[in-house]
Every structure is written in C-alpha cells, then in structure tokens.
Structure 1
C-alpha cells in the first residue's frame, strides 16, 4: 500500500456534492483504499470553466491504496458526473 493525496473538485450544489463525495468514498473502499484523512478546502473559483462550472468545492483526501488499483479507481471516477476534476499524487515516505 502506498500513500497518496487525492485532490477532488465537486459541483457546488449541496445534493450533488454529497452524492459525489459518497460515490468517491464508496469507490475507494470498493478497491481496498483506506481514507486516512478528509480535509475540506472550501469553495473556490476555477481557473477555467470545466463541465460548465466556474466554481467548485475542493476536498483533499489522504489515502493508502494499492498502486495497481489506481487505474481502476480512475476509471470509476470518470463515470462520476458530480466530480468535476481529481488528481492523485503519490506521497514520498520520509526515511
């Protein structure tokens, strides 16, 4: 298991945000990823319009996941209409 930071941007509408967030958590648990921390970053303007949205709700997840499953998680996230953007970043372990 490796540590990753997962930055997500959701649609601002409260129902869509809740549905999208629940779907992200369900997908992560489906593929055996552990959510260590969930940190809301608030509502912010996007640099450019994405999926006809100019603002989004940013949430950072610190997760542990099997590197082989990241591509499967990525495929499921592409199907989530309430998730505007997301990015995985591998966290380097300190020695």
Structure 2
C-alpha cells in the first residue's frame, strides 16, 4: 500500500458537495483504500469553467491505497455526478 493525496472539487451547493464527498468516500473504501485524513480546503475560484461552475469546494483526502486500484477508482470517479475534478498525488516515503 502506498500513501496518496487526493484533491477533489465539488459544486458549492451544500447538498451536492456532501453527496459527492460521501460518494468519493464510498468508492475509495470499496476499493480497499484506508482514508487517514479528510480536510476541507475551502471554496475557491476555478481557473476555467467545469460543468458550468466557476467556483468549487475543495477537499483533500490523505489515504493508503494499492497502486493497482487507481485505474479502477478513476473509472468510478468519471461517472460520479457531483465530482467536478480530482487528482491523485503519490506521497514520497521519507
């Protein structure tokens, strides 16, 4: 298992962002990820419009995950309606 950070962007609407965050959490745990930390990064302007949204709510997940599962999680994230954008970053071991 490797450590990753997952930055996610949801719509500003409280209901959509909470549903989207719950969907991300469920997808990650269903693929065997261990979520170590969730952190709200706040509401920010987007560089360009995504799904007709100019602002988004950013959440950072710190997790441990089998690297082979990322492509499967990527496929599940692409069909999650309340998730605007996401990015996995591998954390280096110290």
In the superposition, the TM-score normalised over structure 2's length comes to 0.98
1:21 aligns with 2:53: no
How much does 1:76 deviate?
0.4
Q: How many angstroms apart in 2 are the aligned matches of 1:51 and 1:92? A: 33
* Runs (5+) with no aligned partner, structure 2: none
How much does 1:54 deviate?
0.2
In the superposition, the TM-score normalised over structure 1's length comes to 0.97
How much does 1:16 deviate?
0.5
* Runs (5+) with no aligned partner, structure 1: none
Give the total of aligned pairs: 94
Q: Which residue of 2 aligns with 1:37?
A: 37
User: RMSD across aligned C-alpha pairs, in angstroms?
Assistant: 0.4
1:71 aligns with 2:78: no
Q: Which residue of 2 aligns with 1:86?
A: 86
Q: How many angstroms apart in 2 are the aligned matches of 1:63 and 1:72? A: 16
Q: How many angstroms apart in 2 are the aligned matches of 1:18 and 1:38? A: 13
SS in 2 for 1:83: coil
How much does 1:56 deviate?
0.2
Q: How many angstroms apart in 1 are the aligned matches of 2:17 and 2:31? A: 21
How much does 1:78 deviate?
0.4
